[in-house]
Amino acid sequence: MNYWLGVFFFVVGVLISVMIHEWGHFAMARRFGCKVTEFFVGFGPKLWSVQRGETEYGVKAIPAGGYVKIIGMTDLEPVEPGDESRAFYGKPGWQRAIVLSAGSFMHMVIGFVLLMAVFMLVGVQQDPIAARVGSLSPCVQVSLSDTCTSSSALSPSRVAGLQPSDQIVAVDGAAVTTWTELTDKIHASAGKPMVFTVQRDGKTISTTVTPYAATRPDPTDAKKTVTVGAIGIGPQEVLVRVGPIAAAGKSLVGIRDTITGSVAALATLPQKVGQLVHVMFSNEPRDPNGLVGVVGAARISGDIAADNSSFASRLGVLLFLLAGFNIFVGLFNMLPLLPLDGGHVAVLAYERMRAWWAHRRGEPEPARPDMNKLMPIAYVVFILFVGLTVLLVAADVIKPVQL
């Protein structure tokens, strides 16, 4: 799996997620008798469409989302004579709430299914214990962003003749039994020759390895870097799969943790936007835990696909990334802000609360909220979203996140 295949995987995954999101709205609207006239993926000029019954299905040129057209979404939309009973605004409040929330719910379902697939079919990487070599970097990578070319210097592990599945049992005559012990010794020995005692195919051999000085993220502060010794090896992977019941439990925990992290991130959104603007005009690196747009997520997918780890491990991480994306989008879409689905749910909740209060007081049901008065709010939110999207795209292209 190469870089562009990873990018393709993420882009296609996002487009399929958008289709499933819109299908959620579509299926519930049809279930409650609403008239749905269009189901499109993308925006802008129409590329292809087909009429099936009363609904036109198709694809448009700009793959930046999708939409389902349900007649009578608001009082502002004209409804053809004879279709009044099928207008969205004429349906009971609980049915409208389900239709509006169905898209976000489908994102949660997608996230759950993807996590189940990882836990049951791919397996989850366990922390390495034994000091056993799993992967070898082909070249010296002073920074993780360095790419190997035909003129790149061979990594110390390649020069020393290390091979996958080698068990390193001692360094400079001192026994090592865990991967952590081995990496601690390597990190502390930049530029210093080290004698590895290796067990390979039942034989014990010795080889000399000289770590080079590498720049890596500081494990205590993602915004900083540290200089450590490196030789270009990775641990042998241990992927553990579980049964459906355990996978379902782990998936629910994963959704809970992702939602918790997403809520915390949304709470600090203004601060993170300010940090991103600062980074764009400084020499500071991007915060790996900061804001990342769709372009950045696609680039990260490419980096994951191009990694030296096993196919199963890379596939698992890509599925995790796509699951996290869906869960975040499902949560974000339910924020009580127009024009998001959550904004429409909030307006509906306000409408039904007013109707309930009027009913209790024996008064006639009040008119629905005037959407003309709410549209300026929707426009402001939309402009802010567009501005944030442009900022994220610029940052992801000019100063991408380095894993």
**Which amino acids are annotated catalytic?**
22
Sign of CA dihedral 293, 299, 302, 304: negative
Residue type for position 345: V
Euclidean distance between CA atoms 275 and 278, whole angstroms? 5
Distance CA 317, CA 326 (A): 14
Rounded to 5 degrees, what angle do the CA atoms 86, 30, 377 make?
70
| Residue 199 bridge partners (DSSP) | 167, 204
- Distance (Å, whole) CA 330 – CA 129: 37
Helix then strand then coil, in percent of the chain rounded to 5, is 50, 20, 30
**Which string of DSSP letters, residue by residue, matches 21-78?**
HHHHHHHHHHHTT--EEEEEEEEEEEEEEEEETTEEEEEEEEEEEEEEEETTSSTTS-
Paired tokens of 59: 């694809």
Q: What count of other Cβ atoms lies within 10 Å of the Cβ of residue 244?
A: 11
Beta strand residue intervals within 81-210, DSSP E: 124-125, 133-136, 167-171, 174-175, 194-200, 203-209
Quickly list DSSP for 185-198: HHHT-TT--EEEEE
∠ CA 398-401-403, rounded to 5°: 145
